[in-house]
A and B are shown apart, each in its own frame.
Chain A
């Protein structure tokens, strides 16, 4: 390509595919120099934080679930923990385990969707899972069966897989009986084997070489793999209580666009959440099955290549099955299923690990139990700055290709973060005009 003074090259992905929600990608180069890299969100805003105000706090887990159809449990979990922190409610160990089990169901459902149906087609050269099924029916079938197990557990424990109805502030509306859950043990043991088999295959994929110096951030708990609670830690030594999140992470307007980007206050830079961050910061807390498998396929943190997200996610699938089996085998129904509480004027914040990374919720409640303010910071709006930074660093590798292929390569990179645009839309930049 000949370069002239002042020549602009624009590369555009009008509508990204195989991501949750809708967004595009805008890249502009001037004389071969990267001028602008924007991940555009054209999902219309939905104003959850505004209409939560004035609602009874009991509505919050049901309403915030609707932010995302792929990870509703994450929204329910962060919201109930934040509200319980405000109310001073302490849940029982049995409720805590049952919540972890529910979260395992969602990790399985969400990770299986991303690994097998959204991300894998990129590595094998297909437009999507349906097209891939013609050449590799067994791979797609296996992915669907893994995902189905997660959905079935959510159905049983949550009432339904999408927007479960059984999560309450204080616990659950009804705890399943032992029999209702014990029948999952055998299918989940089979699911664990399927997930292990899939992970071995995924480890042999051809991964582009691209290492980034990430500031990785995740919840860290002394004896558990990050999920429902812990301190927020980073690989450079940050360690704070989860409710201190707003004091360390901010969304900032950046000058080159209408963007609100999340950065860490201490560093002034973006950071990365999600499977790569969790697996690096909590590798020793992975279930033995997942750790052994990581050794076997030679996955060794630190891994700073975003394209390996699919492998980290696959190992987390193995972990989720192993942990779910453990909880299922030792399940005792919590009595009561829901801890009592009294209203009080208070504020509370909490973070949990959504499949895509740390999800912070903060609420203010009035003495009559109504929400006075809500602050929700989903993982994709936090990752967005890092995704754009990665695109800038990745572009030089692919710029010699024709525009269409550059766009494809960039879209594949973006897909590796499993972005959930439906989640992030009401918080970050929104560009409503399409095309």
Chain B
């Protein structure tokens, strides 16, 4: 890295939350700004410098033809390209349209769908260009972001843990919500990084950091069904903020195939629920009402 690396922060289809994490480094931001030249960061500054950039943080997924072109240009201008968050690393929640009829989606949301030009899919940045490093999460953990930037400034390859949320949960001293309360939890197959927040707040992990290294999906989805979730509910739980990420996607598609068609998102489900409905975090999986 040069003495004062040039940083660009760029967004595609996303909510702004991951780039906001940079501004949420309240105690470090000004010192960091002294070591990095912020050359392009529309949310923070009106100063706009053309590339090339030493580090580019990319938020958001690719959903339009123009953005598919823009990411190519950006890759050429970037020495080191880092994707930040579930949209950029896995397509984000908007990747749910990848399993649906995108024309129908257009008609459902817009009065004049003919004004909208969009691709049928929402895809990760790595599906379009080479990515040097990825930060997971919906949103990313700002401390992980700081760690990555510090490593790059020090000339080191950044590292983030690839083990599962279970490790963080044990470290935090939380009681396992699945073992103790039968609450469905994706923690065993989800990459750490959030600090195992959800179980600490008495709910199951919903997988927003995407699959951990070598996750063992089938035993987990078998277990979720054994504690009362319908196949459709298991599919829904996998199809969340990182639902289009490799192993999550393959497992939800395997389940759909094994049980026949599930209409996710549009219309009624082809699969009848096993159990009479009651309220709860994931419908039948957990009794509603007073959770404790």
Q: Which of A52, A69, A260, A368 contacts B20 (CB 8 A)?
A: A69
The interface-forming segment of A16-24, A221-229, A381-389, A393-401 is A16-24
B20-45: which have CB < 8 Å to A?
Answer: 20-21, 23-24, 26-27, 29-30, 33, 38, 41-45
With known contacts A69-B15, A340-B290, A429-B115, A62–B206 Cβ distance under 8 A: yes
Tell me, yes or no, whether B94 is within 8 Å of chain A by CB. Answer: yes
State the CA gap A66–B92 with chains docked (Å): 9
A59 within 8 A of B: yes
B168 interfacial contact with A, CB 8 Å: no
| CB pair A336 B20 closer than 8 Å | no
Asked whether, in the complex, the Cβ of A130 is within 8 Å of the Cβ of B44, the reply is: yes
Residue A67 is within 8 A (CB to CB) of chain B in the complex? yes
Q: Which residues of A contact B104 (CB under 8 A)?
A: 50
Please indicate the chain A residues that have their CB under 8 angstroms from the CB of B289 in the complex: 170, 336, 338-341
Asked if B280 is an interface residue, CB under 8 A from chain A, the answer is yes
Contact status A56-B64, CB under 8 Å: no
Q: How far is the CB of A199 from chain B (nearest CB, A)?
A: 20
Cα A423 to Cα B226 in complex, Å, equals: 39
Q: B253 an interface residue at 8 Å Cβ cutoff?
A: no
Q: Judging by beta carbons under 8 Å apart, are A49 and B30 in contact?
A: no
How near does chain B come to A432, taking the closest CB pair, in angstroms? Answer: 5
Q: Does A63 contact B (CB under 8 A)?
A: yes
Shortest A197–chain B CB gap in Å is 18
Chain A window 169-185, contacts with chain B (Cβ cutoff 8 Å), 1 for yes, 0 for no: 11001100000000000
Chain A nearest Cβ from B125, distance in angstroms: 14
Which residues from chain A contact B100 at a C-beta distance below 8 Å?
50-51
Partner of B117, one of A129, A163, A253, A432: A432
With the chains together, A342 CA to B280 CA distance in Å? 9
Given contacts A161-B24, A338-B289, contact A18 B236 (CB under 8 A): no
B156-172 vs A, Cβ < 8 Å mask (1 yes, 0 no): 00000000000000000
Residues A113 and B23 in contact, CB atoms below 8 Å apart: yes
Cβ of A113: which chain B residues have Cβ within 8 Å of it?
A: 20, 23
Stretch at the interface among A145-153, A234-242, A293-301: A145-153
Q: Decide: A174 and B233 in contact? CB cutoff 8 A.
A: no
Point out the residues of chain A lying under 8 angstroms from B280, CB to CB: 58
> Is there an interface contact between A15 and B202, defined as CB atoms closer than 8 Å?
no
Report whether A66 and B15 are in contact in the complex, using a CB–CB cutoff of 8 Å. Answer: yes
Query: Given contacts A20-B43, A117-B44, is CB(A168)–CB(B281) below 8 Å?
Result: yes
Q: Which residue of A lies closest to B283 (CB)?
A: A56
Q: How many whole Å from B62's CB to the nearest CB in chain A?
A: 9
* B17 and A22 within 8 A (CB): no
Q: Encode contact with A along B230-246: 1 for CB under 8 Å, 0 otherwise.
A: 00010010001100000
Q: Is the interface of B mostly helix, strand, loop or mixed?
A: loop
**Do the beta carbons of A258 and B115 come within 8 Å of each other?**
yes
B residues 32-65 near A (Cβ < 8 Å) are 33, 38, 41-48, 63-64
Partner of A44, one of B19, B118, B233: B118
Interface size on B, residues (CB 8 A): 86
Q: Give the complex CA separation of A66 and B33 in angstroms.
A: 28
Chain A contacts for B70, CB-based, 8 A: 434
Are A51 and B105 in contact, with the CB atoms below 8 A? yes
B97 closest partner in A (C-beta): A47
B-side contacts of A390, CB under 8 Å: none
Most chain-A Cβ atoms within 10 A of its Cβ — which of B12, B23, B46? B46
Asked if B132 is at the interface of the complex by the 8 Å CB criterion, the answer is no
- Measured CA separation A20–B42 after assembly (Å): 9
**Contact present for A368 and B109 (CB under 8 Å):** no
Contact partner, B13, options A43, A58, A341, Cβ 8 Å: A43
Interface flag for B148 (CB, 8 Å): no
Residues of A within 8 A of B200 (CB): 159, 174
User: Residues 26-68 of chain A: 1 if any B CB is under 8 Å from the residue's CB, otherwise 0?
Assistant: 0000000000000000011111111111111011001100111
In chain B, residues 117-156, which have Cβ atoms closer than 8 Å to a Cβ of chain A? 117-118, 122, 138-139
* Beta-carbon contact of B109 and A45 below 8 Å: yes
Q: Could you tell me the distance between the alpha carbons of A340 and B281 in the complex, rounded to whole angstroms?
A: 11
Cβ of A11 < 8 Å from any Cβ of B?
no
Considering only residues 206-263 of chain A, those with a C-beta below 8 Å from chain B are 251, 253, 258, 260
Binds A, one of B75-83, B217-225, B262-270: B262-270
CB-CB under 8 A from A54, the residues of chain B are 263-269
For residue B256, give the distance in angstroms from its CB to the closest CB of chain A. 13
The verdict on A282 contacting chain B, using a C-beta distance below 8 Å, is: no
Whether, in the assembled complex, A426 has its beta carbon less than 8 Å from a beta carbon of chain B, the answer is yes
In the complex, which residues 77-122 of chain A have their Cβ closer than 8 Å to any Cβ of chain B? 113, 117-118, 121
Q: Mark B264-279, 1 if CB is under 8 A from A, else 0.
A: 1111110001000111
**A159/B197 contact (C-beta < 8 A), A128-B46, A338-B289 known:** yes
CA gap between A369 and B232 in the complex, in Å: 13
CB of B93 closer than 8 Å to a CB of A: yes
The reply to whether A22 and B42 contact each other, CB–CB distance below 8 Å, is yes
A159, A162, A429: the one contacting B198 at CB < 8 Å is A159
Known: A19-B43, A430-B116. A67 touches B290 (CB 8 A): no
Nearest CB on A from B41, distance (A) = 8
The reply to whether A15 and B42 form a contact with Cβ atoms under 8 Å apart is yes
Name which residue of chain B comes closest to A335, CB basis: B290
* Residue A422 lies at the interface, judged by CB distance under 8 Å to chain B: yes
A160–B201 Cα gap in the complex (Å)? 11
Cβ of B203 within 8 Å of any chain A Cβ, yes or no, is yes
Would you call B44 and A129 a contact (CB within 8 A)? yes
Which of A44, A342, A422: most chain B Cβ within 10 A?
Answer: A44
30 A-B pairs whose Cβ atoms sit less than 8 Å apart in the complex: A16-B42, A17-B45, A44-B63, A50-B108, A50-B266, A51-B93, A51-B265, A54-B266, A56-B233, A68-B15, A68-B16, A69-B20, A113-B23, A128-B44, A128-B46, A144-B29, A148-B26, A159-B197, A162-B17, A162-B21, A163-B139, A169-B279, A170-B288, A173-B291, A253-B111, A338-B289, A341-B288, A343-B278, A343-B279, A422-B16
Given A17-B48, A144-B29, 7 more A-B residue pairs with CB atoms under 8 Å apart are A18-B45, A47-B97, A62-B206, A128-B41, A129-B44, A159-B198, A369-B279
The 8 closest A-B pairs by CB, nearest first: A69-B17, A340-B289, A128-B45, A336-B290, A148-B26, A50-B105, A51-B96, A69-B15
